[in-house]
Structure 1
Amino acid sequence: MVWEPEHHPDADLPRETISLREFNLLVEDIWFNEHNVVERQDFETCLAALAGRYHHSASDEEHRLFINARNSAQMPPPAQDEEERNSEDYFHVIRDFDSILGTSEDLPYQCSLNVYPVAPFSETLTHRVYLYWPITRGNQRTEVEISRIPNLCLAKVGLRSKVNVMFPAMYTPHMSPPSLRVQGQLHFGTAEIPAHDIPTFYRRLRRYMNRIPQFQGAFFYHEVRGAKGGTHHDPEDDDDAEFALQDVFGHLDFDQITDDDLNHRWFVDVALEVRRPGHVVHWRRDNMERIIRHAVPHGSPLTISHLPRGKVLKMITPCS
């Protein structure tokens, strides 16, 4: 007698919860039919794979399947060497430096700058970067998010980095973030300033800006965008991490940046990737708080628990 499924899609059927691996094996068993218990392979394979329903031969009943991808999905131990990193019996972690953001009062570069005689509008800082600069009006000192401060792009540094000059003297509390709209296509050329001429260029630029009240007290915003995967390294290998840091920071002279800026206004965007060969690994949403606590040990439990998911971690450790 040919088995027929219940007609109604929401029929009350015995429930069966299985792991993702068990589900794959079940569908394969139906399709290959090695035990000759399936009479309509195509139909029953589609029913199981697409509708989560199948004929349970032992009880001669139709069952409804529910998949819990976390069943039997415990992470294996961490890999200790290169051979284990290539085995699905172990997992390993890779770290990458995605970007660097910071501010300074001068131009701390050890490489040439490509200066824009006319600043490109598209490189004006308009989005929040969660860096703050102190601005004093009268007797009141306020920490202002720097994207609200009037600014322009001064120069490119290499292929993926730029430096903006910020004008806090032009800031007013009710000022909206810059909004730029340009019609047509404009081409902005650059003039190269060799590394050995940067101190002279900076002194002249500072002297000229100080003659204009609106430009007095200007500072610089630095943005280094790394290539995705360009600084992959083993976080447990100090030499590997040091090489990656030098690759990203090599053009900066930190001796020219004040301790106050380094401690409070320089941040590195660090990406962590967990790999297990032959598997797709996902973060568990219900474990996010524990992950953040491990990654940011100095963050208070209250701050971490109230942190909206998908938002920037404002308590990330600055450079030091």
Structure 2
Amino acid sequence: MQLEPPDEDLPAIQVSLSEFVSAAERMFAPDQLENFLRFVLAGRLQSHNKLARIFLNARQGALAPPTSEFQVYRDIDSVIGITWDLPFQLPMAIFPLASFRDTLTEDNHLKCPLSCPKCLHQDVIGVSLHRIPNMALGKVDRRHITRIFFPGLYCKGQNPAIPPETMTLIYEKCLRPAVVSLNPVDRSRWPITYSNAMDLARDQKGQFHFGTVDFPSNLLNQLGPKLREMFQMQDGLQDVFFVHELRGTKGASHHDPCDAGARRAALDTVFHFFDMSLVRPEDWVVDIGLEIQHEGHILQWLTKGHLQYQIVSHADWDNLVFKRYFPAKGALTAKALQQFPSASYYRQWKALMDGNDKDEAEIIQNHRLMPWFEKLYWVPHPASDRMWSTKKGGKEWIMLPPGEPRNCPRLAVNPRFIGQDAAVVLVAGTS
């Protein structure tokens, strides 16, 4: 019997001791000898004509500790919903020139039923939202974005980017006329042509700055239908719909999952700027996170997890990583920064810096806090817009466990410990 190398990339199955013994006993028969040896000696299981790798976890199936020994909190991480109008109670900041970076280009795991005349068949198919041509329309809250989706432009296998000539049509025949007809007082704030809007948004170095124009809340109930009416008259732009996404709300809606009143209050907090009479719950997805705490303990999970890490340079650890977590007094906060501003330690740190003069603040940062920070083995690698980034990394990122790059948490590893008494490994029992 020939076996592949022990570390080949296979689907993983975790089993408890009792499950392992039971399965081995069932295989202990003359006609299954090869399967038995493969299972008990090599940790391989042939299942549905596919080979899987077996991980024996003595804690699998173990009873959870009494609920009195740990605390569970629930949080609303993000919200995504589809509407055919603009259901807001606050003014909306609309992009005359759609921000390119706010176009949905990554899979958010939601699909839209779509009947596409350009496809080879007329059946209704489920299309991932990021495959449907779309553009940013505007924002109502700092962490909110509303996009317009154009199912009529979808063509299977083709790049979903909207070509410039279509963007010109969208702006000049639909977006600007709809806004100006409802709110003519802002006519001068909307460039006459798409080309003019491009020129105004570009600085002398050719960089784009995507400004917005506020649209009054009392007219928003008319803007959605007006836009759909305008788009319906243009070939390929029919049947548009709006997708609203609230991102990075984690930490703003902690609540007890067993308290119905607290759950309702948390949902109301997240949806505070929506007109709920215009929202159909079946068209929305709410991403719920659970936070489990046990005082004095580090919780380990019974499922296999992945992470990617990068051993940063000494200069980057001190000047990029440290100063992102603990910025100097008066340092400017990036507009797109998420998670940091809502973290309790970050707010306390900013208050500490603001409460001291520049010299004392520098002493606190560089002489009192820096020596402690240098003792950390790793921290979440801070991106330019958030604390926890899970984007798929390039060649500079190392996967744990080893394997193909994937979307998973990024860690920055302190270079001071590499080559001394530390190695970058997964702690036994966590996978």
Using the size of structure 1 for normalisation, the TM-score is 0.58
Q: Out of 80, 104, 107, which is 1:101 matched to? A: 80
Q: Deviation per CA, 1:239-283: give whole Å up to 9, x if none.
A: 22111111011222333234xxx32x4211111011011111121
Q: Which segment drifts farther, 243-252 or 116-125?
A: 243-252
Question: What residue is the counterpart of 1:159 in the other structure?
Answer: 142
Asked whether the equivalents of residues 84 and 242 of structure 2 are also in contact (C-alpha less than 8 Å), the reply is yes
Question: What residue is the counterpart of 1:51 in the other structure?
Answer: none
SS state at 1:272 partner? strand
Alignment of 1:1-320 (within 5 A): 76-79=65-68, 90-138=69-117, 139-178=122-161, 185-258=207-280, 262-263=281-282, 265-285=283-303
SS state at 2:97 partner? coil
Report deviation, 1:166. 0.3
Report deviation, 1:76. 3.7
Where does structure 1 differ by over 6 angstroms across 4 or more consecutive aligned residues? none
Report deviation, 1:228. 2.8
Runs of 5+ in structure 2 lacking a partner?
1-56, 164-201, 306-405, 409-431
C-alpha separation in 1, matches of 2:289 and 2:251: 9
C-alpha separation in 2, matches of 1:184 and 1:232: 43
| Larger RCO, structures 1/2 (Cα 8 Å, 6+ apart) | 1
C-alpha separation in 2, matches of 1:227 and 1:155: 18
- The one-letter code matched in structure 1 to 2:263 is A
Q: Deviation per CA, 1:93-150: give whole Å up to 9, x if none.
A: 0111000011111111122211101100000000111222222235422221111011
C-alpha separation in 1, matches of 2:98 and 2:285: 25
Report deviation, 1:190. 0.7
C-alpha separation in 1, matches of 2:84 and 2:97: 21
- The one-letter code matched in structure 1 to 2:260 is D
C-alpha separation in 1, matches of 2:244 and 2:152: 19
Question: What residue is the counterpart of 2:311 in the other structure?
Answer: none
Q: Which segment drifts farther, 100-109 or 133-142?
A: 133-142
Report deviation, 1:161. 0.3
Asked whether the equivalents of residues 87 and 278 of structure 2 are also in contact (C-alpha less than 8 Å), the reply is yes
Report deviation, 1:230. 1.2
Report deviation, 1:189. 0.8
SS state at 1:214 partner? coil
Report deviation, 1:193. 1.4
C-alpha separation in 1, matches of 2:100 and 2:159: 16
- The one-letter code matched in structure 1 to 2:109 is Y
Report deviation, 1:209. 1.3
C-alpha separation in 2, matches of 1:106 and 1:131: 19
Asked whether the equivalents of residues 163 and 222 of structure 1 are also in contact (C-alpha less than 8 Å), the reply is yes
Percent of paired sites with the same residue: 36
SS state at 2:236 partner? helix
C-alpha separation in 1, matches of 2:79 and 2:90: 17
Asked whether the equivalents of residues 97 and 226 of structure 1 are also in contact (C-alpha less than 8 Å), the reply is no
Asked whether the equivalents of residues 75 and 91 of structure 1 are also in contact (C-alpha less than 8 Å), the reply is no
Asked whether the equivalents of residues 105 and 257 of structure 1 are also in contact (C-alpha less than 8 Å), the reply is no
- The one-letter code matched in structure 2 to 1:135 is L
Report deviation, 1:177. 4.5
Asked whether the equivalents of residues 98 and 269 of structure 1 are also in contact (C-alpha less than 8 Å), the reply is yes
C-alpha separation in 2, matches of 1:94 and 1:184: 47
- The one-letter code matched in structure 2 to 1:91 is F
Asked whether the equivalents of residues 154 and 160 of structure 2 are also in contact (C-alpha less than 8 Å), the reply is no
Question: What residue is the counterpart of 2:19 in the other structure?
Answer: none
C-alpha separation in 2, matches of 1:277 and 1:175: 52
- The one-letter code matched in structure 2 to 1:278 is G
Asked whether the equivalents of residues 93 and 139 of structure 2 are also in contact (C-alpha less than 8 Å), the reply is yes
CA RMSD of aligned residues (A): 3.0
Question: What residue is the counterpart of 2:381 in the other structure?
Answer: none
Q: 1:158 to 1:178 in 2, by over 3 A?
A: same
Q: 1:133 to 1:286 in 2, by over 3 A?
A: closer
C-alpha separation in 1, matches of 2:160 and 2:116: 19
SS state at 2:67 partner? coil
- The one-letter code matched in structure 2 to 1:108 is P
Q: 1:311 to 1:185 in 2, by over 3 A?
A: closer
